[in-house]
Amino acid sequence: MKLTGKAYKFGDDVNTDLIISGRYKFSTLDMKDLAKHVMEDVDPDFSRKVEPGQSFIVAGRNFGCGSSREQAPLAIKEAGVVAVIAPSFARIFYRNAVNVGLVVLEGDTGNIEEGDRLEVDLEEHLIRDEAKKTEIRIKPLPEIMVGILSEGGLAAYFKKHGGFEIS
């Protein structure tokens, strides 16, 4: 499976309050509403700039640190971001992203620039930066997470399998 789109760059330690602020997330389950405010305190125009299905968040280290709010990956997904790419993710965010069916990719994002066109090859574990003509290796997910992601998230996975399947 291949994903393509444009890179939107963010720095290190983007926390869950920056992804979706507590002033919005505690009062609604309407993800379309939350998606309008995604990344707002870092880039107020982000939700308007994103081209749904054609955009990547490309971040620095420890993306998603902070709270356990699943609204963070859900709001990113609802905004139309196809994947988040970062050298490392905070633990709870990483798990939540996979559970809600948001693709998260661990790789070296240092040379990717804002606006670069990227192609992600999930089978080959590679990101191709078309502007830089470079390839970046991505770390494969654990098998159980591949299983969850391939069902579109944990809810569908759990319903299908009736539990967790590990070898």
Partner 1 sequence: MRKTIAEKILGSHCGKEVRAGDIVVADVDFVLAQDGTAPLAVRAFREMGGREVFDKDKVTFIIDHNAPSPNQRVSSLHKTMREFSREMGFSLYDVGEGICHQVVMEGGHALPGGLVVGADSHTCTYGALNCFSTGVGSTDLAAALIAGKLWFKVPETMKFILKGNLPAGVYSKDVALYLIGERGAEGANYKAIEFTGELINGLSLESRFTITNMVVEMGAKVGMMNIDEKAREWMREHSSPDISLHPVEADAGAVYEDILEYDLSSLEPQVARPHRVDKVSSVGEVAGQKIDQAFLGTCTNGRLEDLRIAADILKGKEVHPEVRLIVAPASRKVFLKAMKEGIITVLIESGAAVINPGCGACVGTHAGVPADGEVVISTANRNFKGRMGNANASIYLASPATVAASAIEGKITDPRKYIQKTEDRGQGTENKRIDSK
Binding site for partner 1 (CB under 8 A): 13, 15, 17-18, 21-23, 25-29, 41, 61-62, 65-71, 74, 88, 90-92, 95-96, 99-100, 142-144, 153-156, 158-159, 163-164, 166
Minimum separation from the CB atom of position 66 to partner 1 (A): 6
Q: Rank residues 66 and 80 by Cβ distance to partner 1 and give the closer one.
A: 66
Minimum separation from the CB atom of position 9 to partner 1 (A): 18
Q: Rank residues 134 and 150 by Cβ distance to partner 1 and give the closer one.
A: 150
Q: Rank residues 27 and 111 by Cβ distance to partner 1 and give the closer one.
A: 27
Q: Rank residues 23 and 137 by Cβ distance to partner 1 and give the closer one.
A: 23
Q: How far apart are CA 85 and CA 7, in angstroms?
A: 9
Minimum separation from the CB atom of position 139 to partner 1 (A): 13
Minimum separation from the CB atom of position 23 to partner 1 (A): 5
Q: Rank residues 82 and 102 by Cβ distance to partner 1 and give the closer one.
A: 102
Write the CA distances from 47 to 35, 81, 108, integer angstroms.
Answer: 7, 10, 25
Those residues whose C-beta lies under 8 Å from the C-beta of residue 143, and which sit 6 or more positions away, are 166, 167
Pairing outcome for strands 134-137 and 81-86: unpaired
